[in-house]
Structure 1
Amino acid sequence: MESAIKTLVTTFISSSKGKENLDSKGFKNLVEKQFSSILEDANSADKVKEMQQGLDANADGKVSFGEYLTLVGYLAQSMSDRKTAAAAQSD
C-alpha cells in the first residue's frame, strides 16, 4: 500500500512539474498516459476537459492534488465494483 501511495504522489508531482496544481495540459497528459487503459474517453480532448471541469471543485481552472485524488478514488471504486460483480457471477 505504501508503494501505491508513493506512486500516486510521484505521478502527480511529475505531471504538475512540481507545482501544486495541474493545468489543463498537465491534466490531459496525465489522463492520457496514466488512465488510458481504464478510461474509454482518455484520448478525447473534449471528454478530458469535461472531466477536469467536473473535478475542479473550486473552479480555479486547475486540478489540485485533492481533486486528483477524487478521480483516483472514483476509478478505484469503479474497478472494485467491476471485479466484485465479475466474482459474484463466477460463483
Structure 2
Amino acid sequence: MPTQLGIAMDTRIKIFHRYSCKGGGKFKLNKGELKLLLQRELTDFLSCQQDPQLVDETMKDLDANKDKEVDFNEFVVMVAALTVACNDYFVEQLKKKGK
C-alpha cells in the first residue's frame, strides 16, 4: 500500500509531465505550458496575484540554466518554495491563535 508521501511525490511527477508533453520539449515546460499549469493547478495562488508579468517573472526565476524552459528539477524548486511559504503562513496563524 502506497504511503501519503509516495502518493504526493507521484502526483508531482504526473502533474509535471501532464503539462510538459503539450508542446515541443517532452520533458520541459515552455512558457505556455507553465502558464497553463499555474492557471489550472495553482488557481487560488494566481487569483491573489495582481502582477500581469507573474508568469514571465516565474519563468525567469525558475529557469536556472536559462534555456527558456523549466525542467523537472526547476519545477520541484517552485513546488518546494511554495510549500515552505504555505507552511510558514499556517505556523504563523497557529501562533496567533495560541496567544
- For normalisation by structure 2, the TM-score amounts to 0.84
Q: Which one-letter code corresponds to 1:29 in the other structure?
A: L
2:36 to 12, 15, 29: 29
2:83 to 65, 73, 76: 76
Larger radius of gyration: 2
Once residues 52 and 7 of structure 2 are traced to their aligned partners in structure 1, the CA distance between those partners, rounded to angstroms, is: 30
Q: Percent identity?
A: 24
Question: Which piece of structure 1 moves more, 52-61 or 31-40?
Answer: 31-40
Structure 1: state its 5+ residue gaps: none
Once residues 9 and 88 of structure 1 are traced to their aligned partners in structure 2, the CA distance between those partners, rounded to angstroms, is: 33
The alignment's C-alpha RMSD in Å is 1.6
Q: CA deviation at 1:45?
A: 5.1
Equivalence for 1:86? 93
Is 1:5–2:24 an aligned residue pair? Answer: no
Instruction: Count matched residues.
Output: 90
Q: CA deviation at 1:20?
A: 1.3
Question: Retained in 2: the 8 A contact 1:28–1:45?
Answer: no
